[in-house]
């Protein structure tokens, strides 16, 4: 017999689900856009597997808007956030973005979580000269093909996270095996890790591509075990990552190898539990534990907790905050929502709103920022329910961890 | 590429097929008897996993979840048959298919409302944690347990169908429901029970899969696709077919994982398309009536 | 779900009075549809929604040709919708083909794919037909996912925004939502006219005969297989046109449009409006999208509402919105 509470759906999480459900039901129809307000569109996947991340994004974005409005708005105008459900579907996202631009006449768009959705939103906004601050991780959007002067990328990209994670886990001579989701984002993560691997002097003992969205990874495990790696690099995201890690641990992979991932997600770790994730190392844009060393993180945590009944902000949630905040700071500097002026202000902006200094690089508008390297804690080490990770290192904000402008296809 | 690895790969294919068999069996039984293509089958698999988790969290034991959840979800299945599907028997074969398609949406969303959209952890029962040395390599003990449970279920099912009166009625009813009615068999009750049985099987699959894959509201959609593939390859309505095709698909996936891993999902649909084109009724299916 | 209300047989069988208004409705169905489409952007909350109704309505009309009129439940029509969209997008983005030629290429590619899939699947019957179409369309989905250098894979196809349309010397601002709507509407209207002609032709009578009783149709000397294949290809062609319009409208092609859930959505829309009726599919697309649009503003759990409504329709209104209205009017 297992001890009480091991299988904890816990009434709390069930109740939280119920509460979220009824809150959503009770949500009033969207407030009509006021003529005088500054309107920001915010597509995010409120339905689907990343709903938890999306809700955190919305809460944080709303917080950013509230903080500005409390101080009187921008140039005397209130800021309004128009949240739309993109359903994690690129076509839906493009449609919603068209509506936001054509009907709601938004001044800028912030948002998206999946790479495909972000690229779809970007295609719509750039054709119409609307500023878009993407908060979805991707290397593709930095490249010249998808870039426009209206496109800003607030999120980290796989190149940055893999570089930081590799730096703190790979050693000269380490044997590394890769399990990679077979789609653009997976390939981007693999490319980043392999570049770091070569620089550090580690060796690859094998790469296995798995179909995107697979639920079972057992058929890959015997091969991975046979490779006898020191480090198993799992290059996928979300549910794929959760299942792959859990099954790797079931097969005892964690006993012979260290498991490393490009991105550790707060909510995925909650969804899988501490046992499977114990000792897994990965990158992140934000973790609330930053508050011990960074004052802006402390301020963000406090404001977020005050506004959300003591809940801690998460990684993707923080993107909602930093993304909207940077845009609003630029609008304030530009004295209003005029697109050309705001673009110029964003390009000049130096901001520190939650995680230390950040700025947008001139050529590709990538936000240059720190990358956190986190390790998932043992259950016994957790001080509270949100105490999930140990910060192993903070890779400081520097353009040197980005791909060069010429590599991305920008003219020198 | 040594022999041990290939043997290990074959074995993990069989273990993978075991879960598919559980889901496909239910789908196949329901189609064979009732002529209903149950598009909510994947959602019921997911409901089974959540029910198992819920019962395990109430009782503190995985074993109660494993035992009670399939029965509870099977009862839900009977309710669905009685209220939603029975009115459609007189209509075209497409109607139950379409209804269950809508039902799948409702079940997934209902679970999201009750338990939230994120997944919930479902730890491996501690008695079954760890790996076993099979001589050819290491394999999780829990997965060996799953293979055992599936084998046991198949044995019981076979005994039930071959050795009991109910089994006789079911087998005869699948061949010709009209005759059964003439003979005074209460076919409506038989169908009710068969639907419940099919749903209970997929729910059992859901509980068994949960400690391997965690639970989330979308976990049924991929499983549904797999189960369709297995059922169609085996021949819709054929139980032997479901078992053979489940193993075949499992091994096909594991072998593809060895030689062209990124193709591991596509191979399933390619196999299905191939079988259908060569033998439209599936490997063990009866030829279609005009 | 082979609603026979609007089949020729039952129209003929109806009392003279009914036959009168129904015949008039049938005669005016193309102009009436076009009139409704012209008004659409002014009645709906947004232009983007109006274009979606146009595109998905046309998709459902194409699907209805096969499902409603020929009686074949395909679960793979996402493939033709997607083929039209991808080929148009690739033609414009990669080869710089003018938009109109790209549109024709997309339609041709979708029809060709429909011909091939039709050839392989019409040999099977009943539920097996649904399964073969499902399997083959999933193969198309995974092929598009793997061929990412052509399709953009999971990231979707982009980089083919058409900002200006040049038509016979005019230059139309294609980013202007209203102008875009009416340009796309011209193609949808032409397709509706084509479908109406097909249904009125002897071929239209044959496919309905196959739906009502395949054995009898065969006994009457009709080449059932050939007729089904033609119906399948025509249906795919219309769906591919919807796909090309979708691509021109959004300027992206998301991979999801090839997924079997898109096929499921097409079936739901057709059924909701009324399979086997001329106006039904458009009514269904309108109802489905409006419901999704309105409900998803109100709650993120819109799927439970959509699913429940769909279940209720299957149970109580199998003729769909339009079919039920017609039947109700006829009973009075």
Q: Does residue A32 carry a pLDDT above 80? A: no
Q: Are residues A46 and A181 in the same domain?
A: no
Does any domain span residue A24?
no
**Subunits with 3+ C-beta pairs closer than 8 A to A:** B, C
| Distance, CA of B287 to CA of A69 (rounded, Å) | 70
Portion of chain B with pLDDT greater than 70, in percent: 98
- Of the partner residues B265, B266, B290, the one whose CB lies closest to the CB of residue C215: B290
User: At residue B270, does pLDDT exceed 90?
Assistant: no
Closest B-chain CA to A47: B117
Give the per-residue pLDDT at B93: 76
Would you kindly state where each structural domain of chain C is located, as residue ranges?
A: 8-331
What is the model's pTM? 0.90
In this structure, is residue A362 part of a structural domain? yes
List pLDDT tens digits, range A213-269: 888 999 999 999 999 999 999 999 988 999 999 999 999 999 889 999 999 999 889
Q: Is residue A3 part of a domain?
A: no
In a domain, residue A23? The reply is no
Q: How many domains does chain A have?
A: 2
Partner residue opposite C158 with nearest CB, options A29, A123, A184: A123
In a domain, A390, yes or no: yes
Please, which pLDDT band fits residue B277 given cuts at 50, 70 and 90? Answer: confident
CATH number of C8-331: 1.10.3470
Q: C-alpha distances in angstroms, A306 versus A18, A71, A311?
A: 22, 17, 8
pLDDT above 80 for C22: no
Reading the block at residue B216, the tokens are 């989330």
| Runs of H (alpha helix) within chain C | 8-13, 16-27, 29-43, 47-64, 78-95, 99-121, 126-146, 148-151, 177-200, 202-212, 214-219, 224-250, 260-273, 280-298, 302-316, 320-331
pLDDT at B1 over 60: no
For residues A364 and A376, membership in a common domain is answered with no
- As for the ipTM of the complex, it is 0.90
Establish if C162 touches chain A: CB-CB under 8 angstroms: no
Q: In terms of C-beta density within 10 A (0-12 exposed, 13-18 middle, 19 or more buried), how is residue A209 classed? A: buried
Answer yes or no: is pLDDT of A205 > 90: yes
- Residue C216 has a CB neighbour count (10 Å cut-off) of 11
The enclosing H or E element of B107 equals helix B94-115
Mean pLDDT of all residues belonging to chain A:
90
- Counted across chains A and C, CB pairs separated by less than 8 A come out at 107
pLDDT for residue A3 is more than 90: no
Q: What is the CATH number of the domain that holds A89?
A: 3.40.50.2300
Separation between Cα atoms, residue A78 and residue A66, nearest integer Å? 9
CA-based nearest distance B34→chain C, Å: 13
**pLDDT tens track for C238-271:** 999 999 999 999 999 999 999 988 999 999 899 9
Domain with A43, as residue range(s), is 33-156+292-368
What is the Cα–Cα distance from A264 to A174, expressed in whole angstroms? 22
Partner residue facing B106 (CB), from C125, C143, C311: C311
Mean pLDDT value across residues C73-95? 97
pLDDT of residue A48: 80
Gap between the Cα atoms of C246 and C235, Å rounded: 17
Separation of alpha carbons B86 and C3, rounded Å: 20
pLDDT at residue C15 is higher than 70: no
The verdict on B219 touching A (C-beta cutoff 8 Å) is yes
CA A49 vs CA A52, B51, C260: distances in Å: 8, 19, 18
Chain C residue numbers touching B290 (CB-CB < 8 A): 125, 214-215
Structural domain boundaries of chain B?
Answer: 11-219
Nearest to B117 by CA among C296, A19, A265: A19
A residues 222-241 closer than 8 Å to B (CB) = 222-223, 225-226, 239
User: So what's the pLDDT on residue C2?
Assistant: 42
pLDDT tens, position by position, C180-236: 999 999 999 999 999 999 999 999 999 999 999 999 999 998 999 999 999 999 999
Tell me: do A171 and A90 sit in the same domain.
no
DSSP B72: H
- Choose from B111, B119, B206, B227 for mutation: most chain A CBs within 10 A: B119
A207 and A353 belong to one structural domain = no
Interface probe, candidates B94, B110, B271, chain C, greatest C C-beta count within 10 A:
B94
């Amino acid at each position: 017999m297992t001890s009480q509470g091991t299988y904890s759906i816990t009434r709390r999480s069930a109740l939280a689900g119920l509460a979220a459900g009824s809150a959503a039901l009770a949500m009033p129809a969207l407030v009509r856009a006021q003529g005088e307000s500054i309107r920001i569109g915010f597509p995010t996947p409120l339905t689907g597997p990343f709903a938890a991340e999306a809700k955190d994004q919305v809460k944080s974005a709303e917080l950013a808007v509230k903080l500005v409005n409390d101080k009187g708005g921008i140039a005397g105008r209130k800021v309004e956030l128009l949240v739309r459900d993109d359903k994690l579907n690129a076509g839906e996202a493009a449609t919603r973005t068209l509506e936001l631009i054509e009907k709601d006449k938004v001044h800028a768009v912030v948002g998206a979580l999946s790479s495909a959705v972000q690229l779809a939103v970007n295609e719509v906004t750039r054709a119409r000269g609307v500023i878009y601050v993407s908060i979805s991780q991707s290397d593709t959007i930095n490249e010249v093909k998808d870039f426009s002067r209206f496109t800003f990328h607030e999120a980290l990209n796989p190149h940055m996270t893999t570089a930081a994670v590799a730096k703190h886990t790979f050693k000269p001579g380490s044997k590394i095996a890769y399990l990679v989701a077979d789609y653009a984002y997976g390939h981007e993560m693999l490319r980043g890790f392999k570049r770091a691997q070569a620089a550090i002097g580690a060796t690859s003992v094998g790469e296995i591509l798995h179909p995107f969205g697979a639920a079972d990874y057992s058929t890959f495990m015997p091969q991975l075990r046979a490779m006898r790696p020191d480090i198993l690099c799992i290059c996928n995201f979300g549910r794929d990552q959760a299942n792959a890690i859990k099954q790797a641990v079931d097969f005892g992979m964690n006993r012979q190898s260290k498991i490393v991932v490009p991105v550790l997600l707060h909510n995925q770790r909650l969804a899988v539990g501490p046992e499977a994730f114990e000792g897994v190392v990965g990158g992140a844009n934000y973790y609330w534990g930053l508050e011990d060393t960074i004052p802006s993180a402390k301020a963000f945590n406090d404001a977020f907790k005050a506004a959300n009944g003591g809940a801690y902000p998460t990684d993707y949630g923080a993107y909602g905050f930093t993304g909207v905040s940077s845009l609003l700071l630029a609008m304030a500097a530009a004295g209003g929502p005029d697109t050309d002026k705001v673009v110029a202000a964003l390009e000049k902006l130096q901001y520190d709103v939650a995680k230390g200094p950040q700025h947008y690089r001139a050529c590709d508008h990538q936000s240059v920022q720190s990358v956190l390297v986190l390790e998932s804690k043992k259950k016994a080490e957790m001080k509270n329910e949100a105490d999930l990770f140990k910060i192993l290192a903070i890779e400081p904000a520097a353009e040197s961890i980005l791909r060069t402008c010429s590599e991305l296809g920008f003219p020198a | 590429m040594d022999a041990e690895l290939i043997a290990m790969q074959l074995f993990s294919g069989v273990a993978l097929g075991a879960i598919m068999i559980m889901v496909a069996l239910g789908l196949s039984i329901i189609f064979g008897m009732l002529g209903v293509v149950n598009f909510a089958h994947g959602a019921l698999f997911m409901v089974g996993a959540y029910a198992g988790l819920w019962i395990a969290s109430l009782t503190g034991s995985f074993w109660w979840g494993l035992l009670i959840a399939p029965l509870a979800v099977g009862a839900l299945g009977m309710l669905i048959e009685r209220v939603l599907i029975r009115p459609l028997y007189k209509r075209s074969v497409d109607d139950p298919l379409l209804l269950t398609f809508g039902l799948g949406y409702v079940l997934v969303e209902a679970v999201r409302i009750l338990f939230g959209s994120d997944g919930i952890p479902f730890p491996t029962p501690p008695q079954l944690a760890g790996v076993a040395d099979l001589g050819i390599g290491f394999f999780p003990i829990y997965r060996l347990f799953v293979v055992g449970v599936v084998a046991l279920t198949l044995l019981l099912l076979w005994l039930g169908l071959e050795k009991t009166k109910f089994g006789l009625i079911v087998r005869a009813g699948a061949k010709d429901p009209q005759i059964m009615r003439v003979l005074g068999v209460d076919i409506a009750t038989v169908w009710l029970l068969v639907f419940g049985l099919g749903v209970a099987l997929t729910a059992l699959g859901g509980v068994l899969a949960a400690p391997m894959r965690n639970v989330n509201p979308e976990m049924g959609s991929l499983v549904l696709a797999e189960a369709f593939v297995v059922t169609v390859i085996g021949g819709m309505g054929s139980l032997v077919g479901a078992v053979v095709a489940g193993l075949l698909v499992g091994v096909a996936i594991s072998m593809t994982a060895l030689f062209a891993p990124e193709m591991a999902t596509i191979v399933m649909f390619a196999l299905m398309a191939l079988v259908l084109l060569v033998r439209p009724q599936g490997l063990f299916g009866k030829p279609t009536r005009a | 779900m082979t609603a026979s209300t609007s089949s020729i047989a039952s129209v003929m069988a109806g009392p003279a009075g009914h036959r009168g208004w129904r015949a008039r409705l049938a005669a005016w169905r193309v102009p009436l549809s076009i009139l409704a489409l012209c008004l659409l952007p002014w009645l709906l909350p947004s232009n983007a929604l109006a274009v979606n109704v146009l595109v998905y309505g046309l998709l459902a009309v194409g699907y209805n040709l096969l499902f409603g009129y020929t009686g074949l439940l395909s679960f793979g029509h996402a493939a033709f919708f997607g083929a039209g969209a991808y080929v148009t997008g690739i033609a414009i983005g990669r080869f710089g083909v003018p938009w109109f030629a790209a549109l024709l290429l997309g339609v041709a590619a979708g029809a060709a794919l429909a011909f091939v899939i039709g050839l392989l699947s019409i040999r099977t019957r009943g539920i097996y037909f649904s399964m073969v179409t499902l399997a083959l369309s999933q193969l198309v989905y995974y092929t598009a996912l793997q061929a990412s250098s052509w399709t953009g894979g999971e990231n979707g196809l982009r980089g083919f925004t058409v900002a200006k349309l040049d038509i016979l010397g005019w230059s139309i601002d294609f980013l202007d939502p209203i102008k875009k709507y009416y340009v796309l509407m011209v193609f949808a209207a032409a397709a509706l006219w084509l479908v109406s002609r097909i249904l009125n032709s002897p071929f239209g009578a044959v496919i309905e005969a196959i739906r009502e009783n395949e054995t009898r149709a065969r006994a009457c000397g009709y080449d059932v297989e050939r007729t089904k294949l033609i119906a399948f290809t025509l249906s795919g062609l219309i769906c591919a046109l919807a796909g090309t319009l979708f691509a021109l409208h959004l300027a992206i092609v998301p991979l999801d449009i090839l997924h079997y859930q898109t096929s499921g959505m097409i079936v739901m829309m057709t059924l909701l409006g009324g399979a086997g009726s001329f106006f039904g599919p458009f009514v269904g697309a309108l109802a489905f999208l409006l419901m999704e649009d309105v409900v998803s503003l109100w709650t993120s759990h819109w799927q439970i509402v959509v699913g429940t409504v769909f279940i209720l329709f299957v149970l109580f209104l199998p003729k769909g919105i339009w079919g039920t209205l017609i039947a109700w009017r006829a009973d009075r």
